[in-house]
Amino acid sequence: MDGHAPLKHHLKKTRAEKGEPLRRTFWSGVIDTLIYPVGFLGVLIALPQAYGVWVLGQTEGVSLITWATWSVLSLVWMAYGFIHRATAIIFIQTCWFFMHLVVTLGILVNS
pLDDT tens-digit readout, 58-103: 999 999 999 999 999 999 999 999 998 999 999 999 999 999 999 9
The answer to whether residue 8 is domain-embedded is no
- Within 13 Å and on the Cβ side, how many CA atoms surround 102? 18
Count the domains in the chain.
1
The answer to whether residue 6 is domain-embedded is no
Domain that holds residue 66: 35-110
Q: How far apart are CA 100 and CA 13, in angstroms?
A: 30
20 pLDDT tier (thresholds 50, 70, 90): low
Longest CA–CA span in the chain (Å) reads 55
Q: How remote is the C-alpha of 97 from its chain's centroid?
A: 8
Question: How many Cβ atoms are within 10 Å of 106's Cβ, its own excluded?
Answer: 23
The answer to whether residue 27 is domain-embedded is no
The answer to whether residue 88 is domain-embedded is yes
Residue 56's H or E segment, with its range, is none
